[in-house]
C-alpha cells in the first residue's frame, strides 16, 4: 500500500474516479432527458407522504398510494443529485488550482475544499440511509431488484398502485 502515500498516484486515481463520476452523471442525465423520464423528480407533498409511509412501516397501518416511485425515493434521488452536483462543482474548482495559468484565491480554494469534504460526508450518509431502508420489511423486495433490474409484480400492485404504465 506504499503507493497510496504517493501524492501524484493518489491525485491521478482521484482524477480517474472523478472523470468516471462526471461521465456516469452526464450519461444518466442524457439518457433520462432523451427519454423524457422525469417521474423520479420530487413532487409537491413528498415530504408529508414520506413521513406517512415511514410511520406506517414503523407502527403498522396503511401507506398512502404511490406512483412509480415512492415519495422518499424521489427525495433521496434529489438529495443524492444535489450532493453529486456539489462534489462535481467543488472538485472542478479544486482542479483549477492545478492547471497552468489559473489562479484562484485561497479563500475560494478553502471553501471549495471544505464543501467538497462535506459533500463526501453527505454521500456516505446518503448511502448508509439508502441501505438502511432495507431494515423495513416492506422494502426488502427491492433488494433483489437492485441486482436484477426487475421488481415483482405483486410488490408493484401492493406499494405502487397509482403506477399506470409498465
Residue-wise pLDDT for 42-86, tens only, equals 999 999 998 988 888 888 888 888 888 889 889 999 999 999 999
pTM: 0.84
Residue 101 pLDDT exceeds 90? no
CA distances from 109 to 11, 96, 104, 145 (A): 16, 9, 7, 41
Q: What is the mean pLDDT of the chain?
A: 89
Amino acid at each position: 500500500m506504499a503507493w497510496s502515500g504517493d501524492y501524484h498516484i493518489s491525485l491521478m486515481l482521484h482524477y480517474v474516479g472523478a472523470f468516471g463520476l462526471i461521465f456516469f452523471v452526464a450519461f444518466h442525465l442524457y439518457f433520462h432527458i432523451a427519454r423524457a423520464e422525469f417521474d423520479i423528480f420530487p413532487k409537491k407533498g413528498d415530504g408529508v407522504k414520506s413521513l406517512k409511509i415511514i410511520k406506517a412501516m414503523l407502527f403498522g397501518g396503511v401507506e398512502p398510494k404511490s406512483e412509480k416511485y415512492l415519495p422518499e425515493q424521489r427525495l433521496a434521488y434529489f438529495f443524492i443529485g444535489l450532493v453529486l452536483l456539489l462534489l462535481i462543482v467543488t472538485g472542478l474548482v479544486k482542479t483549477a488550482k492545478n492547471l497552468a495559468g489559473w489562479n484562484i484565491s485561497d479563500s475560494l480554494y478553502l471553501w471549495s475544499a471544505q464543501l467538497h469534504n462535506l459533500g463526501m460526508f453527505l454521500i456516505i450518509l446518503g448511502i448508509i440511509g439508502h441501505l438502511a431502508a432495507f431494515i423495513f420489511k416492506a422494502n426488502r423486495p427491492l433488494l433483489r431488484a437492485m441486482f436484477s433490474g426487475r421488481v415483482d409484480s405483486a410488490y408493484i400492485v401492493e406499494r405502487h398502485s397509482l403506477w399506470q404504465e409498465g
